[in-house]
Amino acid sequence: MPELPEVEVTRRRIAPVLVGRRIREVVTTGDSYLFLTRPEKLRRGLAGRRVEDLGRRGKYLVAGLDDGSRLVVHLGMTGQLFSSEATSVRLLSATARDSLPPEAQQRFEPDEHTHLQLTLDGLGPRVFFRDVRKFGKVQWLGVGERTERLDRLGIDAMATTGEILSRAGRGRRSTVKGLLLDQSVCAGVGNIYADEALFGAGVRPGRAAGRVTRREYDAIAEALRRVLARSIETGGSSISDYVAPDGADGGFQDERKVYGRTGEPCHDCGEPIKRRVIAQRSSHYCPRCQR
């Protein structure tokens, strides 16, 4: 599932294609649960509008349009937002790939999973939103229109501080791992980065949030910002169906210290990494380095 770094990498790669350009044509698939705004209304809302900016709130991408309306996209589990210049062969199914002549194998043609196609004015590439499993979301918000999905989000994980986390954790008996995953506290943190940040701070994921000290929360916030920034720098984690918009794959999975390393020796102390289900998620930690 794309986490914050993948969404941020997507934002940075797609912004130059979208921002400052006018949407000339909008093609969608039929009505489905992926569209929080009915496709017909979405097409009407977007057509002719100029994209002013492309921002991110947690794992949501929000494009501001020139009339004050907004386009909101969530990648869900398998969503891919990319330009028609994307070249990754991972975008194509094996059969589709095999049936193409070699010179055409790198080109993507919109298929039944391509739920949104934006043709922009000028000579630049088109922008596609493709989602095989359809857990992604596409929504158009008219001028002044709000959505609970964005309103309920806490501060973006990249901007969180020890003070914010410590205040949110006060008196809380549930786990610190659960606190980090709570999107109303800190938007955009998923399982991988929660585990990595807790390792970086030396705090066990199963500790009660209310018992973590302010100094430890400072260390967690610092570690969280650091692992997210590092992952953005290396292009996101690139797991499952995630593909960067220009087809490049992320490299952060090589740098993970605990996530997905159950039984392997801790890089710092050699102790085998443990895995436990905490806050309904599989959690990875070093029993010696984390307390």
Please confirm, yes or no, whether 3 is among the known catalytic residues. yes
- Any catalytic annotation for residue 281? yes
Residue 8's alpha-carbon distances to 12, 63, 203, 234, in angstroms, are 6, 13, 26, 12
Annotated catalytic residue, options 2, 5, 205, 245: 2
Cβ-in-10-Å burial (0-12, 13-18, 19+) of 224 comes to buried
Residue 289 contacts Zn ion per CB under 5 A: yes
Kindly tell me which residue out of 42, 72, 266, 279 binds Zn ion, with binding defined by CB under 5 A.
266
Q: Which is nearer to Zn ion, 15 or 286 (CB)?
A: 286
* Residues in contact with Zn ion, shown as a per-residue x/- string from 217 to 256 under the rule CB under 5 A: ----------------------------------------
* 202 binds Zn ion, rule: CB under 5 A: no
Interface segment toward Zn ion; rule CB under 5 A; list 12-20, 38-46, 106-114, 281-289: 281-289
Residue of 11, 59, 70, 207 marked active site? 59
Q: What is the DSSP string of the chain?
A: ---HHHHHHHHHHHHHHHTT-BEEEEEE--S-TTBSS-HHHHHHHHTTPBEEEEEEETTEEEEEETTS-EEEEE-TTTEEEEETT---GGGS-HHHHHTS-GGGTT-----TTEEEEEEESSSS--EEEEESS---EEEEE-TT---HHHHT--EEGGG--HHHHHHHHTT--SBHHHHHH-TTTEET--HHHHHHHHHHHT--TTSBGGGS-HHHHHHHHHHHHHHHHHHHHTT----TT---TTSPPP-GGGG-SSTT-TTSBPTTT-PBPEEEEETTEEEEE-TTT--
Which of the ranges 90-98, 166-174, 249-257, 258-266 carries the binding residues for Zn ion, by CB under 5 A? 258-266
Choose the binding region for Zn ion from 73-81, 83-91, 177-185, 268-276 (rule: CB under 5 A). Answer: 268-276
Q: Which is nearer to Zn ion, 159 or 269 (CB)?
A: 269
Listed residue (70, 5, 22) closest to 42, CA to CA? 70
286 near Zn ion (CB under 5 A): yes
Q: Which residue is nearest to Zn ion (CB)?
A: 266
Residue 203 interacts with Zn ion (CB under 5 A)? no
149 binds Zn ion (CB under 5 A): no
How many residues make contact with Zn ion (CB under 5 A)? 7
Q: Which of 12, 172, 214, 281 is catalytic?
A: 281
Binding-site member from 104, 159, 229, 269 for Zn ion (CB under 5 A): 269
Closer to Zn ion by CB, 126 or 288: give it. Answer: 288
Task: Give the shortest CB-253-to-Zn ion separation in angstroms.
Answer: 19
Quick check: is 274 catalytic?
no
Nearer to Zn ion, 53 or 271 (CB): 271
CA-based torsion, 80, 85, 86, 91: positive or negative: positive
Which of 90, 275, 276, 288 is in the footprint of Zn ion by CB under 5 A?
288
Q: Tell which one of 133, 268, 282, 291 touches Zn ion (CB under 5 A).
A: 268
What amino acid positions are annotated as catalytic residues? 2-3, 59, 281
Footprint of Zn ion (CB under 5 A): 266, 268-269, 271, 286, 288-289
